[in-house]
């Protein structure tokens, strides 16, 4: 799964809903994301649409962990993290690789999440003492290609899921001869966890198709879909562009080449 195939719009809409971003800023950032293939968080912070701390705090809240500043500090500007991955990395893998968490602690947290699917991974990690709130924020910023350039002086609160909140369900649909949703592979109240699961499932199982559906008491909406045939077509198109131009013009950032 490439950066471009990640469901960035849903993440952006979460930031708009939380008042951290305007709809116009989101559209501009999404256009640049599609053009350059960069991580959306990098774009948002670099253009000053959100601060690195505001982005990390919003992402952390999605995991059921609320950060409240205990001392007001002037936010430092965020910056792209040197060596940041060029594609989406699942949070659990990133936490272990970057030393935020041991593999054993991650396995225990995932096992508890299997038993308690109503709880989010970040919520479990912080509640059980495997991870601090600031460390979770640092890791989520890292996941989105942004580094927090100051120590976080925050109070960490666990925010339990509330009845009636929407859930995200991952299906492996059957497309032929007629569409069928197929069984639910995973369900979570956290969109970012759903995206993590979808990424790992595509990498590990190479399904013909995959969907993330947002479900609440009244509606069911497909917020992201993947198909193997579409991915192969996009890969072939990019290969053709590289053979024609010697580089991928869809990734061309003219502004960075004119300085």
* Span 98-132, pLDDT tens digits: 898 999 999 999 899 888 877 888 999 999 999 99
* Span 141-162, pLDDT tens digits: 888 888 876 666 788 888 776 6
| pLDDT recorded at residue 11 | 85
| pLDDT recorded at residue 30 | 92
pLDDT band at 49 (very low <50, low <70, confident <90, very high): very high
Give the HSE-up count for residue 54: Cα atoms under 13 Å, Cβ half-sphere: 18
Give percent of the chain above pLDDT 90.
27
- Residue 55 pLDDT > 50, yes or no? yes
Assess contact for 209 and 173: CB atoms under 8 A: yes
- Residue 6 pLDDT > 70, yes or no? yes
Dihedral sign from CA coordinates of 122, 124, 125, 128: positive
Q: What is the mean pLDDT of the chain?
A: 80
pLDDT band at 87 (very low <50, low <70, confident <90, very high): low
């Amino acid at each position: 799964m490439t950066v471009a195939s990640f469901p960035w719009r849903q993440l952006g809409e979460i930031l708009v809903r939380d008042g951290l971003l305007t709809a116009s800023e989101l559209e501009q950032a999404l256009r640049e994301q599609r053009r350059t293939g960069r991580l959306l968080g990098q774009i948002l912070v670099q253009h000053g649409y959100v601060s690195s701390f505001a982005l990390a705090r919003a992402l952390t809240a999605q995991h059921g962990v609320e950060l409240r500043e205990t001392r007001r500090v002037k936010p430092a500007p965020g910056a792209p993290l040197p060596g940041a991955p060029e594609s989406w990395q699942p949070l659990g893998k990133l936490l272990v690789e970057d030393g935020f968490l041991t593999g054993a602690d991650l396995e225990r947290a995932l096992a508890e999440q299997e038993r308690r699917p109503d709880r989010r991974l970040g919520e479990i990690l912080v509640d059980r003492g495997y991870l601090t709130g600031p460390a979770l924020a640092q890791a989520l910023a890292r996941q989105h290609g942004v580094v927090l350039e100051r120590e976080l002086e925050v109070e960490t609160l666990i925010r339990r899921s509330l009845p009636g909140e929407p859930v995200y369900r991952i299906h492996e649909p059957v497309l032929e001869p007629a569409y069928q949703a197929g069984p639910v592979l995973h369900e979570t109240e956290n969109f970012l966890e759903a995206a993590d699961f979808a990424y790992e499932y595509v990498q590990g199982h190479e399904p013909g198709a995959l969907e993330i559906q947002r479900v609440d008491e009244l509606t069911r909406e497909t917020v992201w879909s993947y198909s193997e045939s579409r991915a192969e077509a996009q890969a072939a198109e990019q290969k053709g562009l590289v053979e024609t131009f010697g580089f991928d013009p869809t990734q061309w950032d003219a502004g960075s080449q004119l300085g």
